[in-house]
Amino acid sequence: MSDLCEYLGAKYGGWYDLALLYGQKWRTKDWISLPVGGGTGPTVYRKSWVQQAGYDKIPEDLDGFLKLCQALKRIGHPCGFSLGHALGDANGFAEWALWSHGASVVDENGKVTLDSKQTIEAMKYVAELYKTMIPGTISWNDSGNNKAYAAGEIGLTFNGVSIYYVLKHSPDPKLQAMAADTDHAEVPIGMAKRAPRSAAIMNAMLFKHSKYPNAAKDYLRFMMEAPQYGPWLSNCIGYWSQPLKAYAEMKFWTEDPKLKPYAAAMDTIYYDGYAGPITAASSAVTANYTIVDMFAAVATGSSSPQSAARQAARQAERYYKTA
């Protein structure tokens, strides 16, 4: 895959950091897969309600963000973030909370670092944020916040472009008005190096046992070239974002300024299993909701931060030892 990916990178402005992380073998320049796109979940909010709460924009700092959510609850428009077994939304929220406090599941060598002071501070923060949320988020799946937002029950969440898309293209004038009042912003940075959010990555790969490797590789090249990839990307309307930087200049990204945070989906250094190698173990931690359950236990008062951190670290260590 290296020759194909190097060709595409040279022709289309280079690859974003997340594409390099998912496309190349860990700590090498060898390409083992072709990143096709990534989908992310920035802050989705009702502009008028945020303004009513006393804010012109979403705060970038954690304290300011918490105060905004407290204000939204006071005026009857609470926030909502999944702490249930929602593969995309709950893991995305939990990882944001972890990374924005400078914590991570493992270090660069894959050693579990979850039981840390930073993790405990992150759990204390989420416990306070949980008090501002609409009831029921502990059982939300990936559609929970979409439904609550469309019903006017929450004024702020993290999500893909699906909430906005459904509202904007609804035949219901009330939902169209809600879309006009909806905007998007980067997730609060907190103590992170950059916006602490990742993306769901879609990779294309070739098997070594393929009978037609050259034809398969040329098909992937063909699909990533502008005449094919451009229309595909624009019709994704922000649900998927480009791995190659040149496609960020496509007109549809600026025709609707509300899509801007989605355009940068793969411009990040964060990923499932940050800051270690991407392995079966890092996927197992995500798939088994290790981090989500840790935060949920503290938010609901069923565990202390210290106990939850130790338990989550032990679970993560089992995955990393057996992977």
- 136-145, pLDDT tens digit by residue? 999 999 999 9
Share of the chain above pLDDT 70, in %: 100
pLDDT tens-digit map of 253-304? 999 999 999 999 999 999 999 999 999 999 999 999 999 999 999 999 999 9
Residues 50-77: what's their mean pLDDT? 99
**Contact between 203 and 23 (Cβ < 8 Å):** yes
pLDDT top residue among 25 and 323: 25
**Contact between 297 and 95 (Cβ < 8 Å):** no
- In the structure, what pLDDT confidence band is assigned to residue 322 with cuts at 50, 70 and 90? confident
What's the rounded Cα separation, in Å, for the pair 189 and 96? Answer: 9
**Contact between 286 and 91 (Cβ < 8 Å):** yes
Instruction: Using alpha carbons, list the distances in angstroms from residue 135 to 52, 155, 200, 237.
Output: 22, 14, 27, 31
- pLDDT, residue 104, reads 98
For 21-50, the DSSP string reads HHHBPTTSS-B-SEEEEEE---EEEEHHHH
- pLDDT, residue 323, reads 59
Share of the chain above pLDDT 90, in %: 99
- In the structure, what pLDDT confidence band is assigned to residue 169 with cuts at 50, 70 and 90? very high
pTM of this prediction? 0.96
Q: Which two tokens stand for residue 284?
A: 């197992």
Query: Has residue 68 got a pLDDT over 80?
Result: yes
Residues 101-120: what's their mean pLDDT? 98
Task: Write down all domains in the chain, each with its CATH number in brackets.
Answer: 2-37+218-263 (no CATH), 43-193+270-322 (3.40.190.10)
pLDDT tens-digit map of 208-259? 999 999 999 999 999 999 999 999 999 999 999 999 999 999 999 999 999 9
Query: Has residue 125 got a pLDDT over 70?
Result: yes
Residues 110-131: what's their mean pLDDT? 98
Residues 174-185: what's their mean pLDDT? 98
Q: How many CB atoms lie within 10 A of CB 12?
A: 18
What DSSP designation does 54 have?
Answer: T
- In the structure, what pLDDT confidence band is assigned to residue 193 with cuts at 50, 70 and 90? confident
